[in-house]
Amino acid sequence: MASPSGPTRDDLDKLLFRLVMAEDSRIEGLIRLHLPMLMDLMSTTSDEGIRNKVVECCSHLLKRLRADNKLQVPCDVLLEKARSPVNGAFTKNFALVFLEIGCPRLPAEAKNALGWALLVGLAAEGTADEAKPFGRHQVALRDPRQGAS
């Protein structure tokens, strides 16, 4: 899909077409495959046209996810994107929106593991200002080191 310098607008148009035309049974695989790449592209491209196509693809994925609450989201990858210091606020906020949709769909054990990873990341951030984007994305957690209560 990508040229040596990265995907072109035509590549992203083709991807959007694939996403739009994908049957419900295949969309989860496409989300797992393409969402991390879209997040990376969102943070690295300086081409406004490509960024707009990436946003269009992500917006379509959000519509599909909201329409089918059984679809899973690669939350572990999205958490990395949200916590990465190289990603800008725009990319982090998109990752957090997808996390907000995906976290409630996870099994309890995965939800707890993800929540602890989020808390560890917040502790590593340092200042309260740096942690603000994560503030509204809190999950009720129990310490996984303690037995089931």
In-domain check, residue 114:
no
In-domain check, residue 119:
no
Range(s) of the domain holding residue 62: 9-106
CB atoms within 10 A of CB 34: 18
Q: Collect contacts of 93-97 with beta carbons under 8 A, ≥24 apart.
A: 93/133, 94/39, 94/42, 94/58, 95/39, 96/133, 96/134, 96/137, 97/62
Q: What is the tally of structural domains in the chain?
A: 1
In-domain check, residue 149:
no
Q: Could you say which residues of the chain have pLDDT below 70?
A: 1-4, 120-149
State the DSSP string of 78-130: HHHHHH-TTS-HHHHHHHHHHHHHHGGGS-HHHHHHHHHHHHHHHHHH-SHHH
In-domain check, residue 60:
yes
pTM greater than 0.95 (yes/no): no
Res 97: pLDDT: 93
In-domain check, residue 128:
no
Res 65: pLDDT: 96
